Structure 1
Amino acid sequence: MWFERLSTPQVTNAARFFPVLVVTGARQVGKTSLLRRAFPDHAYVSLEVPSVADLAEHDSAAFFARYPAPVLIDEVQYAPGILRALKTVVDADRHAMGRYILTGSQKFELMRGVSESLAGRCAVLELEGLSAAELAGGGVGTAAALDELMVRGGLPELWRQRELPSGLFYSSYLATYLERDVRQLVNVGSLRDFERFMRACAARSGQLLNRSDLARDVGVSHTTAGEWLSVLVASNQLRLLEPWFDNLGKRLTKSPKLYLCDTGLLCFLLGIAPGELAQSPYRGAVFETWVFAELRKLLARDDASRRVAFYRDQSQREVDFVVEGGGRFTLIEAKLTERPSRRDARHLDAVMRLLEARESYPPHSVQRVIVARPPVDHPLSPGGPAVVHAARLDQLVF
């Protein structure tokens, strides 16, 4: 079963203007499937095969002779030295576009090589798991099955095989991730401690990051906790959402919020089985994590210039997500309810007034949205925030 990826036009268009296209993303989000489908005339080679990675790293001339362009090179982080050689190959025919398509699951090491060797020669895009709109396009009833969407997550294989138990899939996924990605990125003495660290992060998804608390709960040093957070970010398993700030200054929170990227892995780490989410004390955090993932996918596809942040000040006013761009703001609250109340909108209203009182922003530049699970989308009240179902976020106009 194939789910049409809404980022396909963005991917194929980028290849028209750059000799190299780099697509990053976590394991199993569908990078290879998307690119092989989008570029059927490209040869394919995977650097997950040790002998092939060794050839690419130590004899790049022989590698490129064996795999001439156009070619899709998968998991390029296993031979980072190939990027230096690729610069020379690209510069020999600088204006031939889309010849080399690269994928990688570890963006820090990959992007370091790209910035050093391929600056100005490549487009870089990031792919995440399936969005609600992509699942709906494949026949999955997203609005009625929102709990199932959150527990199974967005990794395509789980939706291609609907009978595949999510717990079985994620236990294998986690083992592969720890053995392949974590060991390559950092010298971890105990993978069991790193797994405990991941579970501690999962329990804090949607909360302000406190490295000291994380370190203390897992029994590692503050420095180690910082290194392991970097590993999770580098391997596209975790996102840090920065606070919004302008000139409101010292009254604003400075710490980022922590979110796991995929709610399926989040639920697995939290021990939430299918059918158990409605009774879980983590259900609100899982929902907020899912909304953030949907926002990232939507903005990456439609308008990469807009940024997402959160708002919190010392008066305890908080808005889950602030989407900013072009002098306009969309303030978003995630509420796991079918019928939001006026109380759910109080911080949206307060922050809107703060923004609209400032001369630097034009009148009516702020829209307010409560993302919930109503039977029908509607305004909360005349002139009030819009109430939008979480599965229909793609209908928002920012």
Structure 2
Amino acid sequence: MWIDRLLQKQVETACLSRPAVLVTGARQTGKSSLLQRMFPDADYITLDRLVVAAEANENPGRFLDRFKGQTIIDEIQYAPSLFRELKIRIDENRTNYGRWVLTGSQRMQLIKGISESLAGRIGIFQLETLSAKELRNAPEIADASVADCLWKGGYPELWANRGIDTEAYYEDYIQTYLERDLKSLIQVSNLRDFQRFVQICATRIGQLLNYTDMAKDVGVSAGTIKSWVGALEASGIIYL
């Protein structure tokens, strides 16, 4: 089951006037699925695979040479060398609109790369989890209860496949996040402490952020909590 995203029209419009477009957002918000559905004829490559990311980062020119038409590059933050090479290619033809369609799940790293190389050349969009309006607009799930929405949250896969165990999904999500994204942002010596920190964050939604109180609950320093909060914010898991 596909659920239409409100961001689609904005991205389509940007592709008519910008040579590059970037869609950021936390993992599993549907960035890749949305773009592949919007541009079914575009080449697609993901840098989630270490060997592919290494190739792109070590020789960005040769890597991009293989793509002749519109191209979707997924998780581009894993190959920061691509930003400068993309700048060169975009400047060669600034009117080739929608040529490069990029995604990434670590916003801080992406913005840094863009500000240094692609400023003024790219449209930037943030894809959040499913909104209440998007859920209501989907006929198959428009009658979902408030309790069901609160329990499942807004990750599209949980709604597209109603048979998925929600609790198991989030356990797997956290584990994947710890293994993939967290290691590239900060050093965590004790993963159990970090998992406890994530749980405490969940219980404090909508409250004032107090690093000292959270540090006492987790058993680490306030400085560590501040660093961990920054990592969650950088990867789109929380918003302050």
TM-score normalised by the chain length of structure 1: 0.59
Partner of 1:114 in structure 2? 114
Where do 5+ consecutive residues of structure 1 fail to align? 241-398
Partner of 1:230 in structure 2? 230
Distance 1:143 1:212 in 2: 42
Distance 1:114 1:10 in 2: 19
Other structure's SS at 2:6 match = coil
Whether 2:170 is the aligned partner of 1:161: answer no
Between Structure 1 and Structure 2, which shows a larger proportion of helix residues?
Answer: 2
Distance 1:124 1:144 in 2: 32
Which runs of structure 1 show a deviation greater than 4 angstroms over 4 or more consecutive aligned residues?
140-144
- Aligned counterparts, 1:47-126, within 5 A: 47-126=47-126
Per-residue displacement from partner, 1:175-211 (whole Å, max 9, x unpaired)? Answer: 0011101111111112221111111111111101111
Distance 1:141 1:93 in 2: 44
Distance 1:37 1:5 in 2: 11
Distance 2:124 2:169 in 1: 29
- Aligned counterparts, 1:202-217, within 5 A: 202-217=202-217
Larger RCO: 1 or 2 (CA < 8 Å, sep 6+): 2
Residue 216 (structure 1) shift: 1.8
Whether 2:134 is the aligned partner of 1:134: answer yes
Other structure's SS at 1:129 match = coil
Residue 142 (structure 1) shift: 4.5
Residue 143 (structure 1) shift: 5.8
Aligned-pair Cα RMSD in Å = 1.2
Percent identity, aligned pairs only, is: 46
Residue 162 (structure 1) shift: 0.4
Distance 1:114 1:141 in 2: 38
Distance 1:195 1:231 in 2: 13
Distance 1:214 1:69 in 2: 50
Residue 95 (structure 1) shift: 1.8
Larger Rg belongs to? 1
Contact 1:142 1:149 in 2 (8 A): no
Other structure's SS at 1:101 match = strand
Distance 1:130 1:144, change over 3 A: closer
Distance 2:148 2:134 in 1: 15
Whether 2:38 is the aligned partner of 1:38: answer yes
Other structure's SS at 1:102 match = strand
Other structure's SS at 1:238 match = coil
Distance 1:51 1:220 in 2: 36
Per-residue displacement from partner, 1:326-362 (whole Å, max 9, x unpaired)? Answer: xxxxxxxxxxxxxxxxxxxxxxxxxxxxxxxxxxxxx
Distance 1:142 1:43 in 2: 34
Distance 1:12 1:67 in 2: 21
- Aligned counterparts, 1:252-331, within 5 A: none
Between Structure 1 and Structure 2, which shows a larger proportion of strand residues?
Answer: 1
Contact 1:132 1:142 in 2 (8 A): no
Q: Which letter maps to 1:189?
A: S
TM-score normalised by the chain length of structure 2: 0.96
Whether 2:183 is the aligned partner of 1:183: answer yes
Whether 2:27 is the aligned partner of 1:27: answer yes
Partner of 1:8 in structure 2? 8
Distance 1:223 1:215, change over 3 A: same
Distance 2:56 2:141 in 1: 44
